[in-house]
Chain A
């Protein structure tokens, strides 16, 4: 398989409300950032792929406005997934593997502030039987958290510890929305408290991928993608064991995550309880484990919907690029209660 690496990563400041900027205005500085990091111009990029959701923007074809901002002239080879940008990265990675492209620009953005994201996400559910009941994303996550507690796999104290660790990690993160210590918070939907839930925010992210020697030329220490896989599960929560994530485990296995230990794991767990599920699925819970989990603060510090998964890949890659990690795992999720999961294994050359 062809060697492909993440050679640049950029993200916006993540904020509660960006009413004063459009999606394009939010994205453009990030695009310029990753291009500057590599010294590439938009016209040098062989393939561009983005991830976003019309339902957040409240209009059809919302991605076309961002594409105009990219400056697709002369015409570019370009595609879009109506998913988190992590899956746009997956599509771009496959494109590079075919040999049809040497470089790829991947970006994603999401603004939750114009509407009620808890209500908006209910529109992801089975449109005939479930969506009409409007069960919101926090309520569904609470079901999962309660299932974990009932199974004896976690308790509220451990969950609060995850929140605390994540936000402490974000204390020095210049782009995070929530930083520093946060108490357990107020009860929101039992057993979840505000501290267990992600902030609602707006943000954008971008990465540049490159193959082989091009990657070596563009980055001092490229983050090589050693494996990348994603798997989906059944939609109905009634047929899933919410305390487990077999799709994450399978994706990790296919990505080669279990072949050798990783030193870093960037997990896309918007709720503290979901980190518990993911750690178990990814076998990160060994008592003597030294894996650094979510050193960026994770989705509990900033969760721009549609970009948060791509940011996990970018944060892991950036850590490799600056020499803080040699082998990292990055994870992205989509759908209610961890329905769809992507795992990447990234390595730096020693």
Chain B
């Protein structure tokens, strides 16, 4: 049976900063949604349904905030779904919205993801003690650091690679007006000499805590034909999950990530991602995850990801730019971070990424992951409509 092709015709982001004290939660999501509508030259009345995502409710202290946010997002009288798949949620939310269009249940859907971390404390939101369960008392960094070390040991990567990623992403962020961190005086030496937080992860190799939201307007072929700006077309999308902790889990390169990428490539007819894909927006909250995910996503052979990074392939002017926007390392409103990856991939193939545009990008991958590296969501978008 045939699916309706899905097009991204509107993208909006808020400015991302440590604390948006000038807006409420409702004001924050509305700002992103409003910008996405403006981009698509649509009004609230053109939207058939709203799909919203964010990471745990404890991050802001509001239970099921979609109820309170219905008015701000013009959802009254419409269907509204709330997705929560941990850190991958921004991507999953976009995919759930895309399915509404692909299944021809709705024609034009607004999808929004957000986090307003300043309203609470994410580190402690993740660390609530539960009897008989392993506590995550050091937030995410303490959980991921051992897996980074396992990657270094397994591949023999020199310990300089992580700082190269951070230095690159922070420089890319300088070209992105929406990015949270604009470190104009960044140097490689500053990254390398920043304090060690969770060995081997240094302070400058970690993501910030951001307030921010991202929104997209997804529509069908008819909607795309009416859109005022070029559309980004979805060529493939998938989610995969695996258990949190089990004996055979490969934390360095989880099977769910490999399977998810393989599914997306199959849908899009990609046989050689390294050559065929022009830009990647990858979920890299700690710098070492760039070389790790390069392997997991099939851009490099196992053990070779760090060599791509080290040789400059992933730089903005490299052969396979990774995180031209500055990525999660520069902007991390957790629930929105995945959707920002998806949206930035779409901006690239629409040719609308401004100063961080990758020349001639025709196919771009948006990637998100969450939990203990167990939830994955990805999409591949192109400048051309998929062949039917």
A interface vs B, CB < 8 Å? 1-2, 22, 48, 53-55, 57-61, 63-65, 67-68, 71-83, 87, 90-91, 94-95, 97-100, 120-121, 123-128, 131, 229-236, 246-247, 250, 334-336, 339-340
- Answer whether A79 and B77 are a contact pair too, CB < 8 Å, given A53-B57, A64-B374, A97-B105: no
Closest residue of chain B to A235 (Cβ to Cβ) is B68
Chain A residues with Cβ below 8 Å from B254 are 75
Please indicate the chain A residues that have their CB under 8 angstroms from the CB of B255 in the complex.
74-75
Task: Answer whether A73 and B64 are a contact pair too, CB < 8 Å, given A58-B130, A63-B84, A79-B85.
Answer: no
Q: How far is the CA of A98 from the CA of B237 in the complex (A)?
A: 12
**B83 lies within 8 A of A234 (CB):** no
A334→B103 contact, CB < 8 A: no
Report yes or no: A82 in contact with B84, Cβ–Cβ below 8 A. Answer: yes
Is the beta-carbon distance between A232 and B60 smaller than 8 angstroms? no
Listed stretches B169-177, B240-248, B282-290; interface member: B240-248
Take A53-B57, A73-B243, A74-B259 as given contacts and tell me if A232 and B76 are in contact as well, using a CB distance cutoff of 8 Å. Answer: yes
- Dominant secondary structure at the B interface: loop
Q: Is the CB of B84 within 8 A of A81?
A: yes
Q: How far is the CB of B4 from chain A (nearest CB, A)?
A: 9
A85 to chain B, nearest CB (A): 13
A283 to nearest B CB, angstroms? 19
Closest-CB distance, A173 to chain B (whole angstroms): 28
Q: Cβ of A68: which chain B residues have Cβ within 8 Å of it?
A: 243-246
Q: In the complex, how many angstroms separate the beta carbon of B250 from the nearest chain A beta carbon?
A: 11
Residue among B58, B63, B82, B103 making CB contact with A60, cutoff 8 Å: B58
State the B residues within 8 Å of A (CB).
1-3, 24-25, 55-71, 75-86, 92, 96, 99-100, 102-105, 119, 125-126, 128, 130, 132-133, 238-246, 254-256, 259-260, 371-372, 374-375
On whether the beta carbons of A97 and B80 are closer than 8 Å, the reply is no
Known: A72-B241, A72-B242, A94-B100. A229 touches B92 (CB 8 A): no
> Which residues of A are found within 8 Å of B60, using beta-carbon distances?
127
A123 CA to B245 CA, complexed, in Å: 31
The 7 closest A-B pairs by CB, nearest first: A60-B56, A75-B256, A97-B103, A78-B241, A82-B84, A123-B63, A55-B63
Taking a contact as CB atoms under 8 Å apart, the answer to whether A334 and B83 are in contact is no
A340 and B67 contacting across the interface, CB-CB below 8 Å: yes
- 19 A-B residue pairs with Cβ-Cβ distance under 8 Å, sorted by A, are A2-B1, A53-B64, A55-B64, A60-B56, A64-B244, A64-B374, A67-B241, A72-B256, A75-B254, A77-B238, A77-B240, A78-B239, A79-B83, A94-B99, A100-B3, A124-B62, A232-B75, A235-B68, A340-B70
* A233 to B67 alpha-carbon distance, docked (Å): 8
Name the residue among B25, B62, B78, B126 with the largest chain A CB count within 10 angstroms. B62
What chain A residues lie within 8 Å of B77 (beta carbons)?
231-233, 246-247, 250
CB distance from A74 to the nearest CB of B (A): 7
List A contacts of B100 (CB < 8 A).
Answer: 94
